[in-house]
Amino acid sequence: MKGSRKKRRRGAPVPTFTIACHPQSHRVGERLRMPELEFGKTLAVNRLEPSFTDARGNATAPLSDSFVSRSPLQVSADAKSITLRTGGVFDVRVDGEAARGPITIDRDRLADGVTVTLSNRVILVLHWTQGRPKRTPAHGLVGFSDSIADVRREIGRVAETDLQVLLRGESGTGKELVARALHQASGRAKGPYVTVNMAAIPSTVAASELFGHVKGAFTGAAHARAGLFQQADGGTLFLDEVGETPSDVQPLLLRALESGEVQRVGDERRTRVDVRVIAATDADLEKAVADGSFRLALLHRLEAYVVELPPLRERREDIGLLLVHFLRGALSDLGHQPDELLETPHGEDAWLEPELVEPLLRYGWPGNVRQLFNVARQLAVANADAEVAEMTRALARMLPERPEAAQDAAAAKVAASTRTDLDNVDDQRLLEVLRANHFRVGASAAQLGMSKNSLYRLIERNPLIRKAGTLTAEEIAAARDAVGDDATMMADYLEVSKHGLLLRIRALSQGE
């Protein structure tokens, strides 16, 4: 019996916005499906409407960020394109480019996902969805894209069978995670789960590793040893990078899969084992068969059922959710409370800003989910005590150059004609604006008509402005004595941002 992933019959694809960046990170991943666009209607999106939905299709809330304009983003469609029309003060970037008027997006572009940044606070990914969310187990997989939903369905279909499964996909797409999910969802979940990377086994001992050996079978075999097949008896054996199996071991592996028996090196007897094999590869096994380096019969035996894992670049709408998921884990590992950074109080400046997330959404991710995991950990380590997360030099070198418009990220709420020249903002004027906005960088940048990055540069060179990270425990204690425990009043007294003050208090409490 041979199976492979089949396309389900679904309705017509629907244009959809998925939240990829939001000051309230628990909102990331929520969707706004727009079927009405396919019937010639226009949809208005602003801070107050419409409501988005969660992974189960339940209504949650509109964007609800006070920095996002009430002036609506008008979304319409025709047979060839999606059109975005901005309101007079609605600051919008599409794939990093500032929108100066109506933006027309070819429908084909939605297959890759198009980023739409609103007021430098929220990023939406515009893409297609095929159907409404289904109540299927997550199986440990993060994301709500159609492609990852397909993988979840495949796990549910094949887990309870004893078919051998071949997981195919690029390096870093999560094949080992899927293999473990298949084991956990199967009737073998209480049995052993044994993994081996075939590329890491020297060819001279590969047979012994897989099938075991008897005492004296070869030089150095001082004791008998059970192989991986015997260790996995009653459970699952995961063969990662199966394309690297040595050619002389391939017929032995094929025989074990066909007969359910293994023969230890140096032993004349065969031992029966009850093992379900899951294999994985990012190699072109068909080319290897043509080259003579991989046996066709073994390929046919391994691919009794095939599950293909999508590359991260083809599930762009999941990147924001994966980033937040990995950041939460990394921050927790570092001893921090993730919500303190990732769940921004209303009206406050966000720790994770669109200017950082935008290039991550547009990056090609050759290393896929594994690479994003490493990026998230680096960001967490570098920025856990910062008021605002910033790109490290190492990460900036990794990412492709961004368009000039994205580098110069426009001020959140003013037209280009009113933007302020940095050199025209004197130190006293800057301090007055910050005081008026309770040292909130986003609101101050909007009033001055500049990007938040530009404002940070001004703050750094302004001798009149105190940085929260330099506050001493004594100064914080004096502020508490003067105005009480209210963090907002303390921040105003010390003339720093509330968010920065809370970060500094936490750092001092941890013994900095």
pLDDT tens, position by position, 5-64? 444 445 678 999 999 999 999 999 999 999 999 888 999 999 999 999 998 888 999 999
Q: Which of 75, 103, 129 is the last residue of a domain?
A: 129
The verdict on 322 and 295 lying in the same domain is: no
**Residue-level pLDDT at 60:** 94
pLDDT at 412: 33
Question: Mean pLDDT across the stretch 93-105?
Answer: 88
Does 364 share its domain with 504?
Answer: yes
Q: How far apart are CA 264 and CA 279, in angstroms?
A: 21
Decide if pLDDT at 416 tops 60.
Answer: no
Q: Does a structural domain hold residue 82?
A: yes
Residue 501 confidence (pLDDT): 79
Question: Residues 357-373: pLDDT tens digits?
Answer: 999 999 999 999 999 99
Domain boundary among 129, 159, 184: 129
What's the pLDDT at 134?
A: 66
Whether 282 and 390 share a structural domain = no
Domain presence at residue 136: no
- Assess whether 478 and 344 both reside in one domain: yes
249: in domain: yes
**Whole-angstrom distance, CA of residue 19 vs CA of residue 321:** 9
Express each pLDDT in 225-284 by its tens digit.
888 999 999 999 999 999 999 999 999 999 999 999 998 887 888 899 999 999 999 999
pLDDT at 133: 60
Note the pLDDT of residue 156.
Answer: 94
Same domain, 380 and 423: yes
Per-residue pLDDT at 182 exceeds 80 = yes
Cis peptide before 50 (omega within 30 of 0): yes
Both 241 and 212 in one domain: the answer is: yes
Encode pLDDT of 163-173 as tens digits: 999 999 999 99
Q: Name the CA dihedral angle for 501, 505, 510, 511, rounded to a multiple of 10 degrees.
A: 100
Give residue 137's identity as a one-letter amino acid code.
P
Which has the higher per-residue pLDDT, 451 or 187?
Answer: 187
| DSSP 8-state assignment for residue 9 | P
Tell me how crowded residue 18 is: count the other CB atoms within 10 A of its CB. Answer: 26
- Rounded mean pLDDT of 109-126? 94
Q: Does any domain span residue 205? A: yes
- Expressed as residue numbers, the domain containing 170 is 146-308
User: The domain spanning residue 167 has which CATH number?
Assistant: 3.40.50.300
**Range with the lowest mean pLDDT among 52-61, 89-98, 500-509?**
500-509
In a domain, 135, yes or no: no
Residue 404 is predicted with a pLDDT of 32
Task: Give the pLDDT confidence score for residue 415 in this predicted structure.
Answer: 33
CATH code of the domain containing 90: 2.60.200.20
Residue 397 belongs to some domain of the structure: yes
Q: Are 278 and 238 in contact (CB under 8 A)?
A: yes
25 with 105, same domain? yes
**How many independent structural domains does the chain possess?**
3
Predicted structure pTM score:
0.78
Query: Where does the pLDDT of residue 216 fall: very low under 50, low under 70, confident under 90, or very high at 90 and above?
Result: low
Is 193 in the same domain as 301?
yes
Measured CA to CA, the distance from residue 217 to residue 24 in angstroms comes to: 62
Residues 292-328 pLDDT 10s:
999 999 999 999 999 999 999 999 999 999 999 999 9
Instruction: Say yes or no: 218 and 246 in one domain.
Output: yes
Lowest mean pLDDT among 92-96, 163-167, 180-184: 92-96
Are residues 121 and 206 located together in one domain of the fold?
no
Percentage with pLDDT > 70 across the chain: 87
Nearest Cα to Cα of residue 465 among 490, 422, 494, 502 = 494
Strand partners, 97: 94
Q: Where are the beta strands (DSSP E) in 157-206?
A: 165-168, 193-197
Q: Which of 308, 325, 341 is the last residue of a domain?
A: 308
| 3 within a domain of the structure (yes/no) | no
Residue 146, Cα to own-chain centre: how many angstroms? Answer: 15
Tell whether 118 is covered by a domain. Answer: yes
Q: Are both 499 and 375 inside the same structural domain?
A: yes
For residues 123 and 25, membership in a common domain is answered with yes
Q: Helix H segments across 363-485?
A: 368-383, 393-398, 404-407, 427-436, 441-448, 452-461, 473-483
Residue-wise pLDDT for 428-480, tens only, equals 888 878 887 777 776 677 677 776 667 777 887 777 787 788 888 888 888 88
Tokens for 208, please give them.
């012994």
Q: Is the dihedral of CA 154, 156, 162, 168 positive or negative?
A: positive
